[in-house]
Structure 1
């Protein structure tokens, strides 16, 4: 299961009651994105919620081709965001706090830790494969990325 499947709307019940429509709790569920990030959905939520959801939409849903929203673009952008937070030295608890403050979404710290661990393992595999293939540049890039995530 991808980390983005484990990202949830903070204050889900409050948002549902303000919208007067039932939506999934998952931030990256199609129905959630459709309702919340359309102009109509945002007009029905309070100002503080609207501001954070607009930030989320701008940072993760604003793509050149509107069809990209259904091809994993938002999820890839969010993964980059998480990896960037880790590269800044934040641990899983701090990452959850920042994403909650920035976008009104949350995850469980254990899920974030598992995601980071899997990311490091994948980079180790890329590094090893690059060494076998003799791709020094790719090996170096994978090693640097792994070290940045390892802290």
Structure 2
């Protein structure tokens, strides 16, 4: 299961009430993405909430794909965001706090930790495959990225 399947809308019930519609708890569920992408009813949200929702939309749903927001770009952008937070030295608890402050979404720290661990393991595999293939540049890049995620 991808980390984006474990990202949830903070204050889900309050948001549903303000929008006067039911939305899934998952931030990357189809109905949630539809609502954000189309912007229907966002004027009903209080100003602070609307700003965070619009930030989320601009940062993750903005791409030129024909199938946007179902093209996979929002999920990839969000995973990149999590990895960048880790590269800044933040641990899982701090990453959850920042994503909550930035976008009103949250995850469980254990899920973030598992995602980060899986990312490091993937980079180790890339590094080893690059070594086998003799691709020194890719091996170096994978090693550097792995080290920046490992802390």
| TM, length-normalised to structure 1 | 0.97
Partner Cα distance (1:27, 1:74) in 2: 10
Q: What's the CA shift string for 1:98-148, capped at 9, x where partnerless?
A: 000000000000000000000000000000010011000000000000000
CA contact (8 A) 1:10 1:104 kept: yes
Distance 2:148 2:5 in 1: 24
Runs of 5+ unmatched residues, structure 2: none
Higher alpha-carbon deviation: 32-41 or 22-31: 32-41
Question: Contact conserved, 2:19 with 2:41, CA < 8 A, in 1?
Answer: yes
2:61–2:69 contact (8 Å) kept in structure 1: yes
Q: Spell out the pairing of 1:17-96 with structure 2 (5 A cutoff).
A: 17-96=17-96
Q: How large is the RMSD of aligned CA atoms in angstroms?
A: 0.9
Does residue 118 of structure 1 match 2:123?
no
Counterpart Cα distance in 1 of 2:100 and 2:10: 7
Alignment of 1:95-106 (within 5 A): 95-106=95-106
Partner in structure 2 of residue 6 of structure 1: 6
**Structure 1: which 5+ runs fail to align?**
none
Question: Alignment length, in residue pairs?
Answer: 151
Corresponding residue SS for 1:90:
coil
Cα distance in 1 between the residues matched to 2:95 and 2:49: 20
SS at match of 2:99: helix
Q: Report if the CA contact (8 A) 2:130-2:136 is conserved.
A: yes
Task: Describe the SS at the equivalent of 1:70.
Answer: coil
Instruction: Give, in whole Å, the separation in 1 of the partners of 2:42 and 2:89.
Output: 33
Which contiguous aligned blocks of 4+ residues in structure 1 show a shift greater than 2 angstroms?
A: 36-39
1:137 is matched with 137
